[in-house]
Chains A and B, each alone.
Chain A
């Protein structure tokens, strides 16, 4: 399989006092024709990685190629190959929805008639034809994001970069966008998306890299990542007597790690063989006030790798 995107020891340090290291040596291969997810909390470096691949950010070190083209030396050619939809709505506020698509095609050198045709096709396909004359400010978040997606693929790129495409969307819009992305991938487009929604990565992505503090903590298919973390469930408890509870957990089979949290303990336990009920029964008498169990998922993978929730 050929790699649509290759990152080699990619580094980015933003100037400032103090300088901020956004990427600390990332190496990744993203296969053509797949949906690849960069999963991590805000500030992990995901947006910077996408910025470098789409020529908006200059790398401090290392190399990145997109469709075989070096982003640092062949920026203009790379821009033909990439489509970008960012988290923020960057639609042209002075132009209508239809004009946003039309002029995007013109910027990519399409003739006026071809651009009009392409815009009309996209308006139909993305179900936004009835809002063609609306200004971007009049659109809901979900609709605006759909227009951005239509614009991103208008010039037929080979790699589509989506930066937190569903952040802030209602569940219905999120599902609609997932469907669109899956369809685009079915047509042979490579999709790279960043997200801090576990479910999004799990449902949509064929491979995932877990990123934190500018480094890759794990990489693989969602199934591999979950398997590698040993089917671990995370049990978060709030309780009155932390030390007594800790003692009670001593020697309980399946428990791999116990950490202090603000309100109690976080216990990592094998989900198989009744590990969770065993833990709960052991600590129930230690003034347990709250209980949350996270089943083995990408979320538990992340908690195990970083010791933090994605939302923290």
Chain B
């Protein structure tokens, strides 16, 4: 077997293992994936409108449900990346050293974290897809999804799921198991609330400093990029800015994650 073939065979083995674990845990995984979007959509687009409270949406005539769709897809990806990549990796690199058997496979060291990112991205894309049935069934008002370009949708989904999984890899290698709770509080909470999920980036123009600060948040480009692909009528960043920044951030996070991984497994 040539070297490249044997690396491919090993990577398929790594994915087969991850897929097996995913299949065994499909009930908790599904629950974990749908709870946040289901309740967000339920409260913001069903309960609040029906109780007569009007949420101002900066997007003018566009209803909040439509604004929410791309943001929730992006959040589902981030959630999944943390749950599917960061948390298990943090544990497997920690006291149990469970990762060791995969690190000792006859493949270049970077293959293991890269395979993790690829599988995390795949899981993230699945999680993102779960939003669509929820958003068509729950809201009291109609949602306006219009895919102007399928190529754009595929591009944005790929870049977004890659960025999310790379963030998962980076956090999984950088955060020790005992600091997981802290990571949720000080990293994930700001990412979620300042990620242009519940409002388009353009609507922040009235709070200029915040509009600038949130540009450091990868979730902003995921939400905005998916907005371009799914709800082009909502104001959004340009496709070039979103796609470009996602590619840059995903590359940086992947590189830092692979480096962090190598430092943890080979001393």
* Chain B stretch 201-252: residues in CB contact (< 8 A) with chain A: none
> Hey, which chain B residues are within 8 Å of A86, CB to CB?
97, 100
The residue on A at minimum CB distance from B12 is A106
The CA of A84 and the CA of B265, in the complex, are separated in Å by: 15
Which chain A positions have C-beta within 8 A of B21?
94-95
Q: Would B97 and A109 count as touching, CB distance under 8 A?
A: no
User: Is the CB–CB distance between A93 and B13 below 8 Å?
Assistant: no
How distant is the Cα of A286 from the Cα of B98 in the complex, in angstroms? 56
A124 to B142 Cα, complex, angstroms: 61
Among A14, A75, A90, contact of B100 (Cβ-Cβ < 8 Å): A90
Q: Is B98 a contact partner of A76 (Cβ separation < 8 A)? A: no
**Residue of A at shortest CB range from B265?**
A56
- Interface of B toward A, CB cutoff 8 Å: 1, 3, 5-6, 9-10, 12-14, 16-17, 20-21, 24, 88, 96-98, 100-109, 265-267
Extra contacts besides A89-B96, A109-B106, A112-B16 (11): CB < 8 Å: A56-B104, A58-B266, A86-B100, A91-B101, A94-B98, A95-B17, A100-B101, A106-B10, A108-B13, A109-B10, A151-B101
> A107 touches which one: B13, B88, B98 (CB < 8 A)?
B13
Other-chain contact of B106, A80, A100, A112 (Cβ < 8 Å): A80
CA A105 – CA B103 in complex, angstroms?
A: 13
What distance in Å separates the Cβ of A226 from its nearest Cβ neighbour in chain B?
Answer: 36
- A56-B265, A95-B17, A109-B6 known; A79-B106 Cβ under 8 A: yes
Chain A CB count within 10 A is highest, among B13, B17, B20, B104, for: B104
Contact status B101-A88, CB under 8 Å: no
Chain A 81-116 interface residues, beta-carbon cutoff 8 Å to B: 82, 84, 86, 88-95, 99-100, 103-112
What's the Cα separation between A114 and B14 when bound, in Å? Answer: 16
| CB <8 Å contact, B17 and A57 | no
A interface list, Cβ under 8 A from B: 14, 51, 54-58, 75-77, 79-80, 82, 84, 86, 88-95, 99-100, 103-112, 151
A162 to chain B minimum Cβ distance, whole angstroms, is 14
Tell me the bound Cα distance from A92 to B88 in angstroms: 11
How long is the Cα–Cα vector from A14 to B14 in the complex, in angstroms?
31
Contact of B13 among A80, A106, A151 (CB under 8 A): A106
Choose one: A79, A106, A111; the contact of B17 (CB below 8 Å). A106
Q: How far is the CA of A110 from the CA of B14 in the complex (A)?
A: 12
Instruction: For B98, give its contact among A82, A92, A151 (CB under 8 Å).
Output: A92
A141 vs B266: C-alpha distance when bound (angstroms): 26
Once the chains are docked, how many angstroms separate the CA of A42 from the CA of B14? 34
Nearest-Cβ distance from residue A56 to partner chain B, whole angstroms: 6
Query: In the complex, how many angstroms separate the beta carbon of A15 from the nearest chain B beta carbon?
Result: 9
Chain B residues near A91 (CB, 8 Å)? 98, 101
Specify the chain A residue showing the minimal Cβ separation from B95.
Answer: A88
Closest residue of B by beta carbon distance from A94: B21
A82: chain B residues within 8 A (beta carbon)? 104
List B contacts of A94 (CB < 8 A). 21, 24, 88, 98
- A203 → B minimal CB distance (Å): 28
Q: Chain A: which residue is nearest B88 at the CB level?
A: A94
Distance of A89 Cα from B98 Cα, bound (Å): 8
A81 to B, closest residue via Cβ: B106
Task: Say whether B267 contacts A103, CB under 8 Å.
Answer: no
Task: Report A-chain residues with C-beta under 8 Å of the C-beta of B16.
Answer: 103, 106, 112
A163 to B3, CA, bound (A): 30
Taking a contact as CB atoms under 8 Å apart, the answer to whether B107 and A88 are in contact is no
List, sorted by A's number, 9 A–B pairs whose CB atoms are closer than 8 Å: A55-B266, A56-B104, A76-B106, A77-B106, A90-B98, A92-B101, A95-B17, A95-B21, A112-B16
Q: How far is the CA of A14 from the CA of B266 in the complex (A)?
A: 12
What residues on A are CB-neighbors of B20 within 8 Å?
A: 95, 99, 103
* Complex Cα–Cα for A200 and B106 (A): 31
Are B266 and A109 neighbours in the complex by a CB distance under 8 Å?
no
Closest to A84 in B: B104
Complexed CA–CA distance, A112 and B13 (Å): 9
> Is the pair A92, B17 in contact by a Cβ cutoff of 8 Å?
yes
CA distance A95 to B267 in the complex (A): 27
Whole-angstrom CA separation of A94 from B92 in the bound complex = 10
Chain B residues whose C-beta falls within 8 Å of the C-beta of A89 in the assembled complex = 96
CB distance from B267 to the nearest CB of A (A): 6
Check if A109 sits within 8 Å of B9, measured CB to CB.
yes
Give which listed residue, A56, A77, A84, contacts B267 with CB less than 8 A: A56
Contact (Cβ within 8 A) B266 A103: no
Chain A residue at smallest Cβ distance from B112:
A107
Q: Is the CB of B267 within 8 A of A107?
A: no
